[in-house]
Copies of this chain bind each other. A is one copy, B any other.
Amino acid sequence: MIPAPFLLYLGSSADALGIKTSRGIAAFRRDDCVGEFRHDDCPQTLGLPRMSMAEAAAAGARTLVLGIAGAGGRLPADLIEDAAAALEAGMNVAAGLHERLRDQPRLAELASARGLQLFDVRDPPAHLSVGKGYPRAGRRLLTVGTDCSVGKMYATLALTRGLRERGVAADFRATGQTGILVAGAGVPVDAVVADFISGAIEALAPAREDGGWDLIEGQGSLFHPSFAGVSLGLLHGAQPEALVLCHEPGRPHMRGIPGRALPDLAECLARNLEAARLTSAEVRGVGICLNTSGIERDDALRLCAATEDRLGLPCTDPIALGVESIIDRLLCEASTPSTISSY
């Protein structure tokens, strides 16, 4: 486990989506965060006290979390510099990038010399097997998206909490760096060797006999030309009986691809259901989650209502408006243990 409390890194990021890991930890593990580190040119804040490395260490922070993420997961020189400063101040460093902290000789030497640790949470598990798609017991819900970074993790965490509040056994299954840092466990599915995408998810959410739910965090989008392969393998491995489609209204283009429009919600859900049927013949959509953080509340309510009418499914903002309507739909239609359907 990564020692808390944390100092959350924003660096020089001007990109709201680029700090989504730090933001997610601030949202779901706020009690474990003592402050945020940002350079003078950083226009963003998480509302935590701004601290230098030394101030954070003095305030008790045990780990700097490099919670920023660009496409490609590179570890640029300025991050290495700041990570070294954290080690020199006496903190461990955690990151979830494709390029590993431990592969940087300077960081490895500093950590070793000071008895500190480097955590690369995007390391996939060893000894994965290929997925098989055999019917397996258990109730599984997967969040899917029109795009990357539209709120799938938030929705999945909110749905997990909502089920538990109803007294239903439910576990969040993390598939991305932020989710893994929030949950303390999971599989960084975008970092596994391509042959093992679905197998990694079968291992993450294996057969379950207690009647409880696994709520699996989706990644990417079937409509994202960078990452659709990950999304499809995840979908097949998850073998979900329920899908929740996540979307951020008003996004100008697919994440990282200027000029590429987001898919229509109905088409996106239909394509996900079609693909999911390969391993889960009876899969159904149970709701739509909109990230309306950029919209006034009245507009958000109107948009949810209109989306609900158009798609025939409960639609909500899981953070601002709650997930009760989706939980109702999920439990109402799925009140008897699901039968394992053959393919």
Residues in chain A within 8 A of chain B (CB atoms): 71-73, 98, 129-134, 189-195, 197-199, 222-223, 225-234, 236-237, 256-257, 259-261, 271, 274-275, 278-279, 343
How far in angstroms is the closest Cβ of chain B from A319? 27
**Could you jot down 7 A-B contacts, CB within 8 Å?**
A130-B227, A131-B226, A133-B225, A189-B194, A194-B229, A228-B236, A229-B234
The answer to whether B130 touches A72 (Cβ under 8 A) is yes
A231 vs B195: C-alpha distance when bound (angstroms): 10
A198 vs B229: C-alpha distance when bound (angstroms): 8
- Which B residues lie within 8 Å of A130 (CB)? 71-72, 226-227, 256
The answer to whether B194 touches A278 (Cβ under 8 A) is no
- Which B residues lie within 8 Å of A190 (CB)? 193-195
The answer to whether A223 touches B278 (Cβ under 8 A) is yes
- Which B residues lie within 8 Å of A223 (CB)? 278
The answer to whether B133 touches A257 (Cβ under 8 A) is yes
A215 vs B73: C-alpha distance when bound (angstroms): 30
The answer to whether A233 touches B194 (Cβ under 8 A) is yes
Contact partner of A230 (CB less than 8 A), chosen from B71, B72, B194, B234, is: B194
A179 vs B121: C-alpha distance when bound (angstroms): 34
- Which B residues lie within 8 Å of A195 (CB)? 72-73, 98, 190-191, 226-227, 230
The answer to whether B229 touches A229 (Cβ under 8 A) is yes
A199 vs B226: C-alpha distance when bound (angstroms): 7
Query: Which residue of chain B lies nearest to A191 when distances are taken between CB atoms in the complex?
Result: B193
The answer to whether A230 touches B229 (Cβ under 8 A) is yes
How far in angstroms is the closest Cβ of chain B from A217? 15
Query: Which residue of chain B lies nearest to A223 when distances are taken between CB atoms in the complex?
Result: B278
A336 vs B130: C-alpha distance when bound (angstroms): 43
Query: Which residue of chain B lies nearest to A128 when distances are taken between CB atoms in the complex?
Result: B72
A149 vs B153: C-alpha distance when bound (angstroms): 37
How far in angstroms is the closest Cβ of chain B from A263? 9
